[in-house]
């Protein structure tokens, strides 16, 4: 019995090996690639975002923002038609990669928009740029996409980097008279970068960081951290979340433990985003946060957009919606400038040379790393005339770059932010 | 006596069908576009992981719901080595060392457990690996993972890589079959049937379980290396509980203990995850319903159901055609098709 | 660390542990009698939470929300047990796959119906706000949660020890064939227990929604914690679930503060230790 197995096994193995050697010589036909972005007057956009899984809410909102723009302006830019193909990456890097492959190889898309989560974006970026396809990032805040891993075919269209959007927070905290801060951030890249932004600016201004708390992914119960914050002698708490349930959970716990009146709080964009406010708006009223997006900002561009979104979806737009919308606007303007015959590089060049007088975020332009430079707002949660809670700016920091006041080259010499390199 | 599968037969499917399938698999890159080739390669890799789970589940009734942890460890070893400038041979060597080490830890912690407790130990170990991928962020890149892990130049193209995956899968399945038919396989099944009997016969149950875990781990580690080369990227998602659970699901859906079952299960689940999800937004619901359907209508897995069906057809044909060769009286349907146990002459 | 802060941390752990107990008790009861590892338990929790939230939003009545959630989820559990689980009773792997399939369907449909935004429960005013504890305050809802868990634990104990149905269940756990031979309709007992376990999960979901917002992914998170608690405490033992949940709750609370570097492992390490040194769990029985 054993002998016949081994004989058969050997037979199969040998024939397989032989077959493979033969095949190695003959390559199957490869997929063709064309040079210009819009063939036959249509630009195909591959839109990657999570619509199932834990971050489905944010992924769906990103899509809504994108679609809203095209609904308002029509799906054409001059002579060019923009066709979007949506794929679900489920918040998973491997799925994101497969879907990116499908979009590029099967659907032959000309531009990739998304994905949302930082890890999925980094996974996909390598592949997409190697395939020579331009990509626009609507929401991803991963610092490195426009720093150590920046690429001429990649533009962060609709969001700021994690550290960039929080630098002004540190500055503001100091200007408000705070000198000792305690921070609470998620224990992974987004959290490290966000906290580092605040910490760098705060310490550069002269403040001191009393303690830094890091909460692991999947934390359900914030009471240990809030209890620690209760015992601290800091005069301000800076709290970050990546959106989702962390924001409401934290606000609720902060309130339950009576800290709302005891310890001034500054949060990042996403802890005070609409997802939080829809859930615990009452408890959040009066809390300050720092972000590039403020849905309560009194500007025609913003309020027009807010009204349009509210009519279509019945709620106020979050940062994900704004990112999707702005990215669509960026693509439209880039196509206008570059035209349908543009190559991938030309398209991104056109995009990065856009100067908005008044975008959703205010006056906006892009730096040589393809990252936005623009205002950052200190916002406060207020109740609007419809009884909803939203973020209204109380202070504006103009022209914030991803390098803050530091020299880009020096900045990039330093290692990426993590638990040890926290910006101090 | 009923017609048992002949002892010594390598395959239970007719040889022709198998060759045809292999030929089709080989022809795929010439027929399908690169995207589908890459999905199939993913299915092969998933099948490899499922086969490693199946080895323990089928031979020993030990269901590991943490095997993605072993695969991910190997993947990270390759990733780390790649990031530090080591060549592909070194990457593979490091992956092997890490796989053996992690499998050894799995083995030592689990070798004295069985049944539900084995499941829980492996669950815990898988989650520990997952936690480590976040914790050791200097090494693993934390949540963002490690990008830019290039394949060896000889398999740089997807179609070449596809053949590599196919070859590795075929070799692994063959190797697992050889183990299954070997005296060691007999010992494993003996332990499955009665640990006390085996230990009273002088076998060290724990040591054998340990060795089985190492073997299974090596196959899982291979899957891990291939997966990191497929994506050219590794992140904590590779060690996620869901990955391990899906591997177990693939085995159950396909048919525990059969060599073909895990592959079919892998194809089904991979297809749903990547192909179905493009067209159906509620694909998790569809997948869940498929699982329920499989349990209701094919409780022995798809392969088990196919065998039952084949057995029934054969018997009804025999009854109609040649009454004197009707050997079905008093035979439980499953006995004729049980390739796992029928090879052992001492049953 | 001064005593009051330690007390607060302990209460944090106890209140989180209380929620875990509510989830784990249903899970362990189902396993104890039916020998099913109900991987849909997290999905039952999720569904219960959403149903409770919707009911409270519609009626403003917290108690009503709790009842609706427990009742509906229990009914779902009952029908699932009778139509699906019964068919594969005793076959472990098909049971695992079946409960996973059910979990997939429930979780995805919840996403489709209720959306992906996190949703918190508006807690009844009687349980909102904080209570004075020396110089500190502590949230009333959390204390209420501990109280509820204790009440449930006592009720379960009394049910098990001092009622006829409890005796029947214990008989069924010990030796189901014998129980059936004694004329007990063991089938119905099984179905009833599954429905009861599901009810507990749904109940826990509503109560938990006052502590942690409900969103996709909570089902898997809570299931993993329940598994850990039950492994430590011993599969099938409610006492074990109580001890295990208190232990895990406290470990979670303390470790986040004192050893945050190990926060990923602090929950799974005790489980691994128990599995290595006493695989049946602290109060489990070797089947």
Instruction: Write the pLDDT tens digit of every residue in B60-69.
Output: 999 999 999 9
Assign C97 a pLDDT band (cuts: 50, 70, 90): confident
Query: Which residues from chain C sit within 8 angstroms of residue B140, using beta carbons?
Result: none
Q: What is the pLDDT of residue B135?
A: 80
Option in A52, A56, A224 nearest C9 (CB): A224
* CB pair distance less than 8 Å for B137 and A217: no
* CB pair distance less than 8 Å for A126 and B233: yes
User: What whole-number distance in Å separates Cα of residue C270 and Cα of residue C233?
Assistant: 11
Assign B343 a pLDDT band (cuts: 50, 70, 90): very low
Check CB contact of B127 with chain C, cutoff 8 Å.
yes
User: What whole-number distance in Å separates Cα of residue B309 and Cα of residue B302?
Assistant: 10
Please state the ipTM of this predicted complex.
0.87
Option in A56, A225, A280 nearest C256 (CB): A225
Question: Does residue A291 carry a pLDDT above 80?
Answer: yes
Question: Residue A374's beta-bridge partner residues?
Answer: A400
Per CATH, the homologous superfamily of domain A164-291+375-413 is Response regulator (3.40.50.2300)
Question: Does residue A288 carry a pLDDT above 90?
Answer: yes
Assign A39 a pLDDT band (cuts: 50, 70, 90): low
> Can you tell me which residue has the tokens 């089928």?
B58
Of A256, A274, A319, A422, which to mutate for an interface test with C (greatest number of C Cβ within 10 Å)? A256
Q: What is the pLDDT of residue B306?
A: 87
The CATH number assigned to the domain with range A42-160+300-370 reads 3.40.50.2300
Nearest-Cα distance to chain C for A110, in Å, is: 30
Assign A26 a pLDDT band (cuts: 50, 70, 90): low
Question: Does residue A34 carry a pLDDT above 60?
Answer: no
Instruction: Write the pLDDT tens digit of every residue in B168-219.
Output: 999 999 999 999 999 999 999 999 998 889 989 998 999 999 999 999 999 9
> Can you tell me which residue has the tokens 């594969």?
C88
* CB pair distance less than 8 Å for B178 and A119: no
Average pLDDT rounded to a whole number, residues A41-68: 92
Sheet holding A135-137, edge to edge: A76-77, A80-88, A42-49, A111-113, A135-137, A154-156
Nearest to A359 by CA among A301, A277, A289: A301
Nearest to A177 by CA among A121, A236, A224: A236
User: What whole-number distance in Å separates Cα of residue B67 and Cα of residue B218?
Assistant: 11
Among A267-271, C46-50, C176-180, the range scoring the smallest mean pLDDT is C176-180
Question: Does residue A33 carry a pLDDT above 80?
Answer: no
Query: What letters, b where the CB count within 10 A reaches 16 and e where it falls short, cover B165-196?
Result: bbbbbbbbbbbbbbbbbeebbbbbbbbbeebe
Tell whether omega for the bond before A115 is within 30 degrees of 0, i.e. cis: yes
Query: Which residues from chain A sit within 8 angstroms of residue B235, using beta carbons?
Result: 93, 119, 123
Among all residues of chain A, which has the CA nearest to that of B238?
A: A94
Q: What is the pLDDT of residue C186?
A: 83
Question: Does residue A318 carry a pLDDT above 50?
Answer: yes
In chain A, what are the domain boundaries?
A: 42-160+300-370, 164-291+375-413
Contact of B261 with B302, CB cutoff 8 Å: yes
Query: Which residues from chain B sit within 8 angstroms of residue C271, using beta carbons?
Result: 120, 124
Nearest-Cα distance to chain A for C31, in Å, is: 26
In chain C, what are the domain boundaries?
A: 3-115+127-277
Question: Does residue A286 carry a pLDDT above 90?
Answer: yes
* CB pair distance less than 8 Å for A248 and C213: yes
Option in A9, A19, A118 nearest B174 (CB): A9
Instruction: Write the pLDDT tens digit of every residue in B263-277.
Output: 999 999 999 888 888
Give the mean pLDDT of chain C: 88
Among A6-10, A140-144, A341-345, C280-284, the range scoring the smallest mean pLDDT is A6-10
* CB pair distance less than 8 Å for B299 and C227: no
User: What whole-number distance in Å separates Cα of residue A131 and Cα of residue B38?
Assistant: 15
Higher pLDDT, C206 or B13: C206
Pairs of residues, one from chain A and one from chain C, whose beta carbons lie less than 8 Å apart: 101
Instruction: Write the pLDDT tens digit of every residue in A352-382.
Output: 999 999 999 999 999 999 999 999 999 999 9
Average pLDDT rounded to a whole number, residues B57-81: 94
CA neighbours closer than 13 Å in the CB half-sphere of residue B27: 7
Question: Which 8-state DSSP code applies to residue B155?
Answer: G
Q: What is the pLDDT of residue A37?
A: 67
Q: Give SS3 for A228.
A: helix
Check CB contact of A289 with chain B, cutoff 8 Å.
no
Report percent pLDDT > 70 for chain C: 99
Name residues whose C-beta falls within 8 Å of residue A11's C-beta, 6 or more positions apart in sequence.
none
Q: Rounded to 5 degrees, what angle do the CA atoms B325, B330, B334 make?
A: 90
The CATH number assigned to the domain with range C3-115+127-277 reads 1.10.3470
Same fold: A42-160+300-370 with A164-291+375-413: yes
Option in A53, A278, A279 nearest C216 (CB): A53
Name residues whose C-beta falls within 8 Å of residue A406's C-beta, 6 or more positions apart in sequence.
none
Among all residues of chain B, which has the CA nearest to that of C100?
A: B288
Option in C8, C116, C263 nearest A227 (CB): C8
Q: What is the pLDDT of residue C196?
A: 95
Instruction: Write the pLDDT tens digit of every residue in A87-142.
Output: 999 888 888 999 999 999 989 999 999 899 888 898 899 899 999 999 999 999 98
């Amino acid at each position: 019995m054993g002998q016949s197995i081994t004989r058969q096994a050997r037979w199969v193995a040998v024939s397989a090996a032989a077959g493979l050697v033969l095949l190695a010589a003959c390559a199957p036909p490869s997929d063709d690639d064309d040079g210009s972005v819009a063939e036959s007057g249509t630009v195909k956009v591959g839109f990657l975002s999570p619509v199932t899984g834990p971050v489905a809410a944010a992924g769906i909102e990103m899509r809504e923002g994108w679609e809203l723009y095209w609904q308002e302006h029509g799906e054409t830019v001059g002579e060019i038609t923009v066709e979007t193909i949506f794929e679900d990456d489920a918040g998973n890097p491997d799925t994101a990669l497969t879907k990116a492959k499908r979009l590029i190889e099967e659907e032959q898309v000309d531009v990739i928009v998304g994905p949302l989560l930082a890890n999925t974006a980094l996974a996909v970026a390598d592949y997409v740029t190697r395939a020579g396809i331009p990509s626009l990032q609507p929401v991803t805040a991963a610092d490195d996409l426009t720093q150590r891993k920046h690429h001429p075919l990649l533009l962060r269209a609709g969001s700021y980097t994690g550290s960039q959007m929080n630098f002004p927070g540190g500055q503001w905290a100091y200007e408000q008279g705070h000198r000792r801060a305690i921070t609470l951030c998620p224990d992974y890249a987004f959290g490290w970068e966000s906290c580092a932004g605040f910490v760098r600016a705060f310490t550069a201004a002269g403040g001191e960081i009393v303690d830094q708390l890091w909460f692991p992914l999947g934390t359900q119960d914030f009471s240990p951290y809030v209890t620690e914050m209760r015992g601290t002698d800091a005069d301000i708490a800076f709290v970050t979340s990546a959106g989702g349930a962390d924001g409401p959970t934290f606000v609720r716990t902060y309130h339950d433990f009576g800290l709302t009146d005891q310890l001034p709080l500054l949060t990042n964009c996403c802890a005070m985003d609409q997802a939080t406010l829809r859930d615990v708006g009452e408890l959040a009223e009066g809390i300050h946060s720092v972000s590039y997006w403020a849905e309560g900002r009194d500007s025609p561009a913003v309020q027009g957009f807010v009204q349009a979104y509210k009519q279509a979806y019945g709620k106020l737009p979050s940062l994900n919606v704004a990112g999707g919308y702005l990215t669509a606007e960026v693509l439209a303007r880039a196509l206008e400038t570059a035209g349908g015959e543009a190559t991938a590089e030309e398209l991104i060049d056109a995009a990065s040379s856009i100067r908005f007088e008044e975008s959703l975020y205010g006056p906006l332009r892009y730096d040589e790393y393809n990252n936005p430079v623009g205002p950052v707002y200190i916002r406060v949660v207020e109740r609007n005339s419809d009884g909803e809670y939203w973020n209204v700016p109380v202070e504006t920091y103009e022209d914030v770059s991803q390098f803050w006041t530091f020299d880009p080259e020096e900045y990039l010499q330093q290692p990426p932010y993590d638990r040890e390199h926290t910006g101090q | 006596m009923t017609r048992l599968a002949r002892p010594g037969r390598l395959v239970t499917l007719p040889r022709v069908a198998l060759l045809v399938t292999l030929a089709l698999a080989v022809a795929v890159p010439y027929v399908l576009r690169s995207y589908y080739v890459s999905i199939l390669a993913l299915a092969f890799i998933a099948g490899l992981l499922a086969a490693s789970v199946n080895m323990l589940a089928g031979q020993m009734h030990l269901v590991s719901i943490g095997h993605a942890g072993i695969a991910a460890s190997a993947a990270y070893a390759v990733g780390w080595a790649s990031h530090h400038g080591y060549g592909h041979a070194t990457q593979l060597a490091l992956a092997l060392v890490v796989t053996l080490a992690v499998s050894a830890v799995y083995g030592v912690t689990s070798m004295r457990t069985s049944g539900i407790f084995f499941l829980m130990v492996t669950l815990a170990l898988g989650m520990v690996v997952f936690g480590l991928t976040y914790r050791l962020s200097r090494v693993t890149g934390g949540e963002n993972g490690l990008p830019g892990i290039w394949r060896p130049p000889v398999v740089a193209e997807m179609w070449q890589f596809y053949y590599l995956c196919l070859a590795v899968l075929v070799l692994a399945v063959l190797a697992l079959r050889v183990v299954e038919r070997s005296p060691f396989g007999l010992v494993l099944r003996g332990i499955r049937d009665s640990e006390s009997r085996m230990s009273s016969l002088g076998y060290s149950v724990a040591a054998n379980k340990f060795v089985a875990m190492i073997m299974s781990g090596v196959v899982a580690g291979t899957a891990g290396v291939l997966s990191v080369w497929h994506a050219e990227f590794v992140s904590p998602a590779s060690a996620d509980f869901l990955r391990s659970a899906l591997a177990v699901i693939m085995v159950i859906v396909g048919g525990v203990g059969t060599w073909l079952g895990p592959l079919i299960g892998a194809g089904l689940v991979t297809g749903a995850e990547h192909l179905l999800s493009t067209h159906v937004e509620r694909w998790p619901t569809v997948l869940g319903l498929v699982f329920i359907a499989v349990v209701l209508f094919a409780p022995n897995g798809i392969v088990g159901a196919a065998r039952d069906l084949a057995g029934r057809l054969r018997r009804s044909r025999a009854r109609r055609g040649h009454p004197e060769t009707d050997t079905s009286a008093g035979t439980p349907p499953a006995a004729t098709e049980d390739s796992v146990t029928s090879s052992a002459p001492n049953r | 660390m001064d005593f009051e802060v330690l007390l607060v941390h302990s209460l944090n752990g106890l209140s989180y542990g209380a929620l875990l107990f509510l989830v784990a008790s249903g899970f362990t009861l189902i396993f104890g009698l039916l020998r099913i590892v109900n991987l849909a338990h997290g999905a039952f929790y999720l569904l219960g939470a959403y149903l409770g939230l919707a009911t409270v939003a519609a009626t403003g009545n917290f108690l009503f929300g709790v009842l609706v959630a427990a009742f509906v989820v229990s009914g779902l559990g009952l029908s699932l047990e009778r139509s699906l689980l019964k068919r594969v009773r005793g076959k472990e792997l098909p049971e695992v796959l079946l409960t996973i399939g059910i979990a997939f369907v429930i979780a995805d449909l919840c996403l489709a119906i209720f959306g992906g935004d996190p949703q918190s429960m508006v807690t009844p005013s009687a349980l909102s706000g904080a209570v004075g504890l020396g110089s500190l305050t502590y949230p009333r809802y959390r204390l209420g949660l501990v109280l509820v868990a204790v009440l449930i634990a006592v009720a379960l104990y009394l049910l098990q020890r001092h009622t006829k149905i409890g005796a029947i269940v214990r008989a069924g756990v010990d030796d189901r064939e014998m129980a059936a031979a004694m004329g007990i309709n063991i089938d119905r007992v099984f179905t009833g227990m599954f429905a009861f376990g599901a009810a507990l999960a749904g109940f826990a979901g509503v109560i938990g929604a006052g502590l942690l917002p409900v969103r996709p992914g909570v089902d898997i998170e809570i299931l993993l914690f329940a598994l850990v608690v039950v492994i430590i405490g011993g599969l099938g033992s409610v006492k074990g679930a109580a001890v295990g949940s208190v232990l895990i709750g406290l470990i979670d609370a303390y470790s986040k503060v004192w050893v945050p570097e190990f926060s990923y492992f602090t929950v799974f390490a005790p489980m691994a230790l128990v599995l290595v040194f006493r695989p049946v769990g602290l109060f489990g029985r070797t089947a």
